[in-house]
Amino acid sequence: KTAVVGGLAASVAAAPVGLLFHATNIPQWEFDTDQISLMGALFGLTYRYAVRTDANPMLRQGVVGAFALTRALATVRVPDGCA
């Protein structure tokens, strides 16, 4: 449930703003919206598990990995000709 809520909230909030910045490059706007949805879903999941009080080291490493993945996705650029 947290991934769905996080993904929907992030994509609904970011889609109109992203369209203003990428009005001439629709593939980049679509990719950015999908990427932000994935980031929101991962943020919802990682936040849910990061605030837990158990001492699970694998869970803590997964939180770091999820944030690293979303940071890496933010650097990807789509060419204008991509459809």
Compute the average pLDDT of residues 55-78. Answer: 73
Looking at residue 57, its pLDDT comes to 75
Compute the average pLDDT of residues 35-64. Answer: 77
Looking at residue 33, its pLDDT comes to 83
Q: SS3 helix, strand, coil % of the chain, rounded to 5?
A: 75, 0, 25
Looking at residue 64, its pLDDT comes to 74
- Residue where the block lists tokens 């909230």: 9
**pLDDT greater than 80 at residue 49:** no
Both structure tokens of 59 = 């869970």
Looking at residue 77, its pLDDT comes to 73
Compute the average pLDDT of residues 40-57. Answer: 77
Compute the average pLDDT of residues 30-50. Answer: 81
Higher per-residue pLDDT: 57 or 39? 39
Q: DSSP secondary-structure letter at 54?
A: S
